[in-house]
A and B are shown apart, each in its own frame.
Chain A
Amino acid sequence: MNRCAVIGIGQTRHAAKRDDVSLAGLVREAALRALADAGLGFSDIDAVVIGKAPDTFEGVMMPELYLADALGAVGKPMMRVHTAGSVGGSTAIVAAHLVQAGVHKRVLTVAFEKQSESEAMWALSPKFPFQPPLLAGAGGYFAPLVRSYIRRSGAPPEVGIKVSVKDRKNALKNPYAHLLLPDISDEVVEKSPMLWDPIRYLETCPSSDGAAAMVLAAEDSLGGVTNPAWVLASEVRSEPTMFAGRDQVNPRAGRDCAKALYAGAGITEPRRQIDVAEVYVPFSWFEPMWMENLGFAPENEGWRLTLDGATSMTGDLPINPSGGVLSTNPIGASGMIRFAEAAMQVRGTAGAHQVDGAKIAMGHAYGGASQFFAMWLVGRDKP
């Protein structure tokens, strides 16, 4: 397997409505920034891999067809990945595979969502015949899982609030973040409306327009880039939506994926060896849940990491220095932003939200009913 590194990263300015750009303009904003970061042009790229969540969000069926020329893909292979919420991560992994398999030298990968083209809440909950009635929207699916987690772990109720405040403060240091709440505090979160009890408004993610892009390159094609983020390992795992006895709070697919990921990178003590992680947390309570799922904490103790401050910027395992999905959520791109932010950390290019001296970082994405997982580890040093 050939070595692969991230040599260019670009994001859009994420916002609730990017009314100033077309769909092509949105993806090009990220792609051109990634190319500029790598010191390359479209002609230097061998293939393009694009990802996004359901086509019904924008009403363009298989939009890679329309976006091919906008991304300089003419005459090249182009692929379109869709694995629900994990798609941004899965897309980056498919792109990395093209390099690792020796098929291509340089691959441009892009993920996007322009949720303002439709109402995403609506798109997620259409009246489809013969299905069990959808009675509560997306939060209604995840809120009972949070309640189950709280019951199982005995976590104190303020954990969700603490995560929200931490991520929202981190977002203030990220120039691309969508939701900026300078006056955030425990009290502000606690007093925000209880949407899907036990989930409050400020413990949920926004709906964003945005795109992220990366240039991935083989070892002999780094060009002038001297601070590549090396892909140490990547993994995906999927499990069924629901079956008798399925653990929805701590799904095995996530646990297996993390274990295989660590094994692939030679990581034996993830909590100690991984310096920073960008984890897909659309509802604040998912931080402690994923801490356990990813093996950073023993079962039922993930919340202690949050309360002890371990996951804050000054802790020993900062989680979501970028502000995370809680601050920016262009669904199809959210996973790729996690992967890209992890790469920015080990490249030392994260600016005001840089974790000093980060050498190994994790990008994490999940989707569906907590059933699709995509993860990678990137490193400052060549493996």
Chain B
Amino acid sequence: MSDVMRAPYVLEYGYRRSTGPVIGQFLTALRDGRLVGGKTARGRVIVPPTEYDPETGDAVDELVPVGDAGVVTTWTWVAEPAPGQPLARPFAWALVKLDGADTAMLHAVDAGEPSRMKTGMRVRARFRAERSGTILDLEAFLPEQAS
């Protein structure tokens, strides 16, 4: 069916997100170089915090400080980063459970090469120099021995 026409279609939107109080406090802290989590009624600490306990839907409004270092619970390697991802050079995606947190967060680990990645390794947050109040203010995690 070579006579079928094809044409590009560009989907482009500048979505604007309003954060609400809980996400707003997390992003404000992040912009200021700190990490916080949300404490649920059962005492679990959710990082990044949601306005609700993911298990029950109950409101979460108490925010508590958490460490800026933690443990990689799983990871994969991205050899060719796509536009918009945290790093332009090859990096790892990882779930990182920060010290003091009961859930893990998704972010990039700037490890240089996959051989330096290992489940259970410790990593520490590296903040961008210029921060604006988005999750990308956390540029990446770094393997702890190298940070």
- Using a CB–CB distance below 8 Å, which chain A residues touch chain B? 17-22, 24-25, 28, 42-43, 56, 58-59, 69-74, 116-118, 122-123, 126-130
Asked if A70 and B58 sit within 8 Å, CB to CB, the answer is no
Q: Given A70-B51, A118-B13, A118-B16, 14 other A-B contacts at CB below 8 A? A: A17-B18, A25-B20, A25-B21, A28-B51, A56-B11, A69-B52, A72-B52, A72-B57, A126-B9, A126-B11, A127-B9, A128-B9, A129-B9, A130-B5
Q: A118-B13, A130-B7 in contact; A18/B56 too (CB < 8 A)?
A: no
**Whole-angstrom CA separation of A28 from B60 in the bound complex:** 12
Asked if B57 and A18 sit within 8 Å, CB to CB, the answer is no
Contacts of A72 in B (CB 8 A): 52, 56-57
- Min CB–CB distance A134 → chain B (angstroms): 13
Asked if A22 and B7 sit within 8 Å, CB to CB, the answer is no
Say which residue of B21, B22, B23, B58 sits within 8 Å of A42 (CB atoms).
B58
Say which residue of A19, A22, A42, A118 sits within 8 Å of B15 (CB atoms).
A118
Interchain Cβ contacts under 8 Å between A and B, 8 examples = A18-B18, A22-B23, A25-B51, A56-B13, A116-B16, A123-B13, A126-B9, A128-B9
Contacts of A128 in B (CB 8 A): 9
Q: A22-B51, A58-B15, A118-B15 in contact; A74/B57 too (CB < 8 A)?
A: yes
- Using a CB–CB distance below 8 Å, which chain B residues touch chain A? 5, 7-9, 11, 13-23, 50-58
Contacts of B11 in A (CB 8 A): 56, 126
**Whole-angstrom CA separation of A24 from B49 in the bound complex:** 13
Q: A69-B50, A69-B52, A69-B57 in contact; A24/B20 too (CB < 8 A)?
A: yes
Asked if B52 and A24 sit within 8 Å, CB to CB, the answer is yes
Contacts of A56 in B (CB 8 A): 11, 13
Interface of A is mostly: loop
Asked if B7 and A129 sit within 8 Å, CB to CB, the answer is yes
Asked if B18 and A20 sit within 8 Å, CB to CB, the answer is yes
Contacts of B13 in A (CB 8 A): 56, 59, 118, 122-123
Nearest to B57 among chain A residues (CB) is A72
Nearest to B12 among chain A residues (CB) is A126
Asked if A21 and B20 sit within 8 Å, CB to CB, the answer is yes
Q: A69-B50, A118-B13 in contact; A21/B57 too (CB < 8 A)?
A: no
**Whole-angstrom CA separation of A56 from B17 in the bound complex:** 14
Q: A59-B13, A126-B11, A128-B9 in contact; A20/B55 too (CB < 8 A)?
A: no
Say which residue of B8, B9, B18, B56 sits within 8 Å of A21 (CB atoms).
B18
Nearest to B54 among chain A residues (CB) is A69
Nearest to A209 among chain B residues (CB) is B18
Across the A-B interface, how many residue pairs have beta carbons closer than 8 Å? Answer: 72
Contacts of A59 in B (CB 8 A): 13, 15
- Min CB–CB distance B86 → chain A (angstroms): 19
- Min CB–CB distance B55 → chain A (angstroms): 6
**Whole-angstrom CA separation of A25 from B9 in the bound complex:** 33
- Min CB–CB distance B81 → chain A (angstroms): 21
Asked if B18 and A71 sit within 8 Å, CB to CB, the answer is no
- Min CB–CB distance B49 → chain A (angstroms): 12
**Whole-angstrom CA separation of A332 from B13 in the bound complex:** 19
Asked if B20 and A70 sit within 8 Å, CB to CB, the answer is no
- Min CB–CB distance B3 → chain A (angstroms): 14
Nearest to B18 among chain A residues (CB) is A19
Contacts of B8 in A (CB 8 A): 129
**Whole-angstrom CA separation of A70 from B55 in the bound complex:** 9
Asked if B15 and A71 sit within 8 Å, CB to CB, the answer is no
Q: A59-B13, A70-B51 in contact; A42/B18 too (CB < 8 A)?
A: no
Contacts of A123 in B (CB 8 A): 13
**Whole-angstrom CA separation of A25 from B17 in the bound complex:** 12
Closest 3 CB pairs of A and B: A72-B57, A129-B7, A22-B20
Asked if B20 and A42 sit within 8 Å, CB to CB, the answer is no
Asked if A24 and B50 sit within 8 Å, CB to CB, the answer is yes
**Whole-angstrom CA separation of A127 from B56 in the bound complex:** 43
Asked if A117 and B57 sit within 8 Å, CB to CB, the answer is no
Asked if B9 and A74 sit within 8 Å, CB to CB, the answer is no
Which residue of B17, B20, B55 has the most chain A CB atoms within 10 A of its CB atom? B20
Asked if A71 and B57 sit within 8 Å, CB to CB, the answer is yes
**Whole-angstrom CA separation of A240 from B56 in the bound complex:** 42
Q: A19-B18, A56-B13, A130-B7 in contact; A74/B51 too (CB < 8 A)?
A: no
**Whole-angstrom CA separation of A122 from B11 in the bound complex:** 11
Say which residue of A22, A42, A43, A126 sits within 8 Å of B19 (CB atoms).
A22
- Min CB–CB distance B38 → chain A (angstroms): 12
Asked if B15 and A70 sit within 8 Å, CB to CB, the answer is no
Nearest to B7 among chain A residues (CB) is A129
